[in-house]
């Protein structure tokens, strides 16, 4: 066996073990969130357990380096802790409707969406890149007069 094949096998084994570890952690967090709802119920006195969604957000953000998805996962863990599995989906819908129907949040989404579309238009409408020979197709960015063959 060559060393590149061995390295590929070691890499795939590492990814497999990493995937299994992350899956077990995710299942443990979901199980713990459901357990906390069953034991505490709707009393609302979670104490130190209220830090679980925050810890999940921080750990997920550090592991994946993606913040928005980490915040969404933290919201899901918090909803699992405070609602029964049967009421999870309606509570998620109600939460999103409450947030997105807020005037300030709607304004922020509209402004960010319009700004993003303007940036995209400017990026797509950029001048053509110079050719490999050094002179661009339309003699763009050239100080001397164009000399075409």
Q: What is the pLDDT of residues 79-136, one digit of tens each?
A: 888 888 888 889 889 988 888 888 898 889 889 989 988 888 888 876 666 555 555 5
**33, 81 Cβ separation under 8 angstroms:** yes
pLDDT (average), residues 70-86: 87
State pTM to two decimals.
0.58
Among candidate residues 90, 37, 52, 71, the one with its CA nearest the CA of residue 98: 90
**123, 115 Cβ separation under 8 angstroms:** no
Looking at 44-87, list the stretches that DSSP marks H as alpha helix, in order from N- to C-terminal side: 52-64, 67-82
């Amino acid at each position: 066996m060559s060393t590149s094949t061995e390295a590929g096998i070691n890499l795939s084994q590492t990814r497999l073990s990493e995937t299994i570890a992350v899956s077990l952690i995710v299942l443990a967090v979901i199980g713990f969130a459901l357990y906390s709802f069953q034991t505490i119920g709707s009393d609302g006195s979670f104490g130190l357990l209220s830090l679980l969604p925050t810890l999940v957000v921080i750990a997920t953000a550090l592991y994946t380096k993606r913040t928005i998805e980490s915040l969404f996962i933290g919201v899901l863990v918090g909803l699992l802790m405070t609602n029964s599995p049967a009421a999870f989906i309606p509570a998620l819908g109600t939460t999103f409707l409450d947030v997105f129907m807020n005037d300030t949040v709607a304004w922020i989404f509209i402004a960010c969406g319009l700004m993003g579309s303007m940036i995209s238009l400017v990026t797509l409408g950029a001048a053509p890149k110079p050719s490999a020979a050094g002179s661009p197709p339309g003699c763009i960015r050239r100080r001397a007069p164009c000399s075409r063959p």
